[in-house]
Amino acid sequence: MIGKARGDPISITGLGAHVPERVLTNDELSTIVDTSDEWIMARTGIRERRIAAPEQALTDLALPAARAALAQAHVEAKDVDLLVCATVTPDMMFPTSSALLADELGAPDAAAYDLLAGCTGFMYALAQAYGMMAAGLAQRALVVGGDVLSRILDWTDRSTLILFGDGAGAVVLERVERPGFIGFELGADGGGGIHLSLPGSGSRRMEDAEGNGFVHMNGREVFKFATRVLVASAQAVLGHCGVSVDEVDVYVPHQANVRIMDHAAGKLGIPRERMIVNVDRYGNTSSGSIPLALADAQREGRLKKGDLVLMTGMGAGLTWGSGLMEWTL
């Protein structure tokens, strides 16, 4: 699906992020599995990642991020009427993490639901919240993206252990005077879903699944998928919105792997200095990836009012999604 923004302008007016205190370096990983800093850096560009403490769940990471976003937007939680939480690692299946967050924040009347679209979750959630507001069903939204992937990794599997980290980000969406969101493009290919899966995590018979409870990934196939859709989705939304790649000021791809990101930027023709990269410090945080990157870019002064921002995610499903906006903060 693809579409251009219509009606009153809607944009991000507040942004927040939070990561756990514990830093897990490549050198420390080499004491757990057969790997090294050189091996990991050459293949992924990741130096370290954050790992949640045993007592921390998703909402423990998401709450500080949400509060920071609300504070930056000068919005009280009671005035939020929609809360969407994108995650594949909720505190529990129900009650939803979104409902728990709404209660903790003090948004008792907000519609709240969790959204599951793998690492593309934040982009799906942004598009859904925008659509709800554009249709007049919501006036002010809080979109949260985050995961505690360390809980669903096999800590003896080098192929997945080196890639992922924990973290969360959040944004407030409101009506604005400037253009804000310009367009979105979303898609999914369930036929490739087996290449990135969590067997035994749902109603499919657990005894029929190998390695229950742990992420399974066909790295070669996921890499091929990622390098293709990051480019195709970005090109689709740019083309549909009548925007050239030269007009993009800030490119925020899903922080999965530096090789994938560099490939996408090169194919699109976006100079690397316009691309936000923080995967070296956080690893792949799934639904937290893009909001964490946005928060870093804002803190570093790389996001300025009026900048044209292109965001593209891809992940389990297999899913993908892009959003184009004029930055209004």
- Do 98 and 210 belong to one domain? no
Question: Does 254 participate in catalysis according to the annotation?
Answer: yes
**CA–CA gap between residue 296 and residue 167 (Å, rounded):** 13
Question: Does 263 participate in catalysis according to the annotation?
Answer: no
- Do 157 and 205 belong to one domain? no
Residues contacting 173, CB < 8 A, separation 6+: 10, 11, 12, 13, 126, 129, 130, 133, 140, 141, 142, 143
Residue range 124-172, pLDDT digits in tens: 999 999 999 999 999 999 999 999 999 999 999 999 999 999 999 999 9
- Do 116 and 197 belong to one domain? no
- Do 52 and 161 belong to one domain? yes
- Do 108 and 204 belong to one domain? no
Please identify, among 148, 175, 202, the residue that sits at the C-terminal boundary of a domain: 175
Selected catalytic residue, list 85, 119, 257, 263: 119
- Do 125 and 21 belong to one domain? yes
**Residue range of the domain that includes 306:** 181-326
Residues contacting 39, CB < 8 A, separation 6+: none
- Do 135 and 194 belong to one domain? no
Q: Tell me the pTM.
A: 0.97
Selected catalytic residue, list 254, 257, 263, 278: 254
pLDDT for the residue numbered 201 = 86
**CA–CA gap between residue 193 and residue 276 (Å, rounded):** 27
pLDDT for the residue numbered 231 = 98
- Do 146 and 272 belong to one domain? no
Question: Does 85 participate in catalysis according to the annotation?
Answer: no
Please identify, among 150, 175, 200, the residue that sits at the C-terminal boundary of a domain: 175
- Do 166 and 201 belong to one domain? no
**CA–CA gap between residue 322 and residue 120 (Å, rounded):** 9
Which sign, positive or negative, has the C-alpha torsion 299, 14, 326, 321? positive
Low-confidence ranges of the chain (pLDDT < 50): none
pLDDT for the residue numbered 205 = 67
Please identify, among 140, 175, 210, the residue that sits at the C-terminal boundary of a domain: 175
Number of structural domains in the chain: 2
CATH number at residue 276: 3.40.47.10
